[in-house]
Amino acid sequence: MDKSDIIRAVMGKEYQISPEAVELIKSSDSPEGLLKYVLSTVNDSVIVIGIEHVDFEGFAASGRTSKLINAQNGKNPGFETSAEKSPSDEIQASFLKKEEILYRPSVLSSPSSRSHDLSSEPDIPLEADILNSASDPAPESFQNLVSDSIPVQDPVFQPVPDTQSIVSSEKVSASCLASSSLSSIKAVPQVFSSQSPQAGNRSASSFFGQVNSLPSSPSNRAFSTEPSFSISDRGPSSGSTDEGYRHYPGKNPVTVISDITGHSTCIGEYVQFVQYFRDRYSRLSEIIRGRINARPIESLKRRSFRRGRDGGSEEISIIGMVSDVNSTTNGHKIFSLEDPTGSFSVLIRNTDNELFELASKILLDEVIGVTGSITNDGNLMLATKLIQPDVPNNVQRRTGSHGKAVLISDVHVGSSQFMEDAWLDFLDFLKGESDSEPMRELAASIRYLVVAGDLVDGIGIYPDQEMELDILDVYAQYRKAAEYFREIPEHIRVIISPGNHDAVRQAEPQPALPESIQADFPQNIIFVGNPAFVDLDGVSILIYHGRSIDDLVASIPGVSYQEPAGAVLEMVKRRHLAPTYGSRVSISPEKKDYFVIDPLPEIIHTGHVHTLGVQRYKNILLVNSGTWQAQTEFQKRVNLMPVPARVPIVDLADFDVKILGFD
Ligand code: D5M
Ligand code: FE
Ligand code: ZN
């Protein structure tokens, strides 16, 4: 067992590990057994496994029990077994139960606890303007504000195929969905899986229909609740409520409208996956339902729906989650769509160019509407239209606020590639210490600084990461970051959201950084979760680190790291920050799907991929901020060219964006 095996196993359990602890485990006679023991004994409050958690004596004493359990569980060795009962055991046990349950037909028809009141469904008037869904044709104005600001590349606007339309005029029968059942659950993905979501190697899992595959075990950490979060000492005027609502008054007020902090309910139970997918489906389908009159899939089985009165084929619509994507031998596409009442196959012919192009961008697990006719044998829908939830064209931006918001991410304090000189120049700018008067004026107009994750580099995030760290202790990294943030003038309200390098659970949604870390930072800093929906004095901003961008780049043709805002645009069309469940993003199934983009924000701020991108899409400003980390060895190998030390500044009055360069 070498170092990277140890790190990988630890990462799989959502911990970080210090290099000393790796060495210690490696040097043992039985590194594998010791590692299993350590993972089964560390408690959930631990973020980084250090040498103090490597208990040789306890391991030696546990030897017999451990072997016994290993023998019983010989089918599935690896890191799931442990000598003592731990949270991971419980979760493993509950998944084994689930596996049995999934094959029992009785569960496949368990009644839904939630009914859809279709009479109260919102009627979103999208009409004809939806037909022209496309990126805002007017290019973003990138201007050099002042002499010492550096312009970035021209913004890129990707044309969006116009494939949406509304045809159906039928009304769905309310009773069908009201008595619907969410009858099964789809497979739980492996945490840190690197498979392409479109690779078709997921077995035929389903959300509401039949499940043929066993859920693989999520890690214990992925589903642990975060450390409790008290906000009382940081000045919000109201306590937290259901969705994390917190208000921070003052000259530059902030309201956290929704984030997971303090509200995680997830312990990885079967029923929670059901609830999670139910919430995702019901909220996204409701958006589409305002535009088409969809039938429950179950009703397609009734012959009367398959033929019009004249006996010809009738066009009908359904809304479902994509549970499978395949190609026929002739190169057509076949989707499996599921809703709470059943599943159905949909064929998209490659002769219909526009439709086929849109179909090739459809991802597993996204919720779409389909219009088409049913074949004579009643088994297949021939699609003529695909409808994504998307954004109405008539979304009005509220009258803006005033002042500026600076958007950054991926600072990576502690990394040997952290560009400290550039960062210090940036801090000087914020302090109003620039050489030029216009820069000082600009600095004086800044009211907010938003950090979208990866504040520090962390430790044990990727194999061999320690080779590129200046600060090996993650807490020391945060102390250093706090030192920097203390330099930021107090009148600037700073909002910090975590990313995959930060010291919180890896599974998303992630809570705010723990109190012990917050304590080092000054009072003008507000810690939020990832994602977080926040209001900055009247301007709504959705902050998301952006880990799903890795998946979107891998699975949507035309989406690239060089134009990260294009990936965010694809999220917006799906009204979901991480459309494909699993793959690189491990998602904790909370009661509410925090990734659904609803309500619509005025700004979406992402990071993670270390490149800069700004686009506008139907009055929503999409900003992917770059990084403060120069190219790492890994990034060199995969040819990822970061855009460091470039800072987008948004004018909250008119949403104009300027980019300042500090490199
Ligand atoms: O990720 C920055 C970007 O680089 C993001 O697209 C993931 C990718 N990345 C960086 N290092 C690795 C390794 N070792 N494996 C896989 N992908 C990687 P960040 O989260 O900021 O490091
Ligand atoms: Fe990063
Ligand atoms: Zn990241």
480-530 pLDDT, tens digit per residue, is 999 999 999 999 999 999 999 999 999 999 999 999 999 999 999 999 999
Ligand nearest 638 Cα, by number? Answer: 1
- Residue 63 pLDDT > 80: no
Q: Which two tokens stand for residue 379?
A: 């088994």
pLDDT at 309: 58
Q: Which residues contact 23 (CB under 8 A, 6 or more apart)?
A: none
pLDDT band at 242 (very low <50, low <70, confident <90, very high): low
> Using an 8 Å Cβ cutoff, are 244 and 255 in contact?
no
- Residue 226 pLDDT > 60: no
pLDDT at 512: 96
Packing angle of the helix pair 437-444, 420-430 (nearest 10 deg)? 70
User: Which one-letter amino acid corresponds to residue 8?
Assistant: R
145-163 pLDDT, tens digit per residue, is 332 333 333 333 233 232 2
> Using an 8 Å Cβ cutoff, are 591 and 265 in contact?
yes
Is the CB of 640 within 6 Å of ligand 1? yes
> For residue 344, how far is its CA from the centre of ligand 1 (angstroms)?
37
Does 290 or 90 have the greater pLDDT score?
290
User: Atom 21, ligand 1: which residue's CA is nearest?
Assistant: 608
- Give the burial string for 226-254 (b: 16+ CB within 10 Å, else e): bbebebeebebeeebeeebbbebeeebeb
Q: Which of 197-211, 259-273, 631-645 has the highest mean pLDDT?
A: 631-645
Does 494 or 48 have the greater pLDDT score?
494
pLDDT at 76: 33
- Residue 137 pLDDT > 90: no
CA–CA separation, 604 and 624 (whole Å): 8
CA–CA separation, 406 and 154 (whole Å): 19
CA atoms within 13 A on the CB side of 522: 15
CA atoms within 13 A on the CB side of 601: 33
pLDDT at 10: 76
Q: How far is CA 388 from the centre of its chain?
A: 18
CA–CA separation, 605 and 571 (whole Å): 12
Q: Which two tokens stand for residue 306?
A: 């398959």
Which atom of ligand 1 is nearest to 553's Cα?
6
Packing angle of the helix pair 3-12, 31-41 (nearest 10 deg)? 20
Which atom of ligand 1 is nearest to 465's Cα?
14
Query: Which of these, 572, 578, 573, lies nearest to 608 by C-alpha position?
Result: 578
334 burial level (CB within 10 Å; 0-12, 13-18, 19+): middle
> Using an 8 Å Cβ cutoff, are 367 and 284 in contact?
yes
pLDDT band at 394 (very low <50, low <70, confident <90, very high): confident
Is the CB of 259 within 6 Å of ligand 1? no
Query: What is the average per-residue pLDDT within 596-619?
Result: 97
Q: Which residues contact 302 (CB under 8 A, 6 or more apart)?
A: none
Q: Which of 419, 638, 641 to mutate to test the pocket of ligand 1 (most atoms within 8 A of CB)?
A: 638
Q: How many CB atoms lie within 10 A of CB 483?
A: 12
> Using an 8 Å Cβ cutoff, are 603 and 655 in contact?
yes
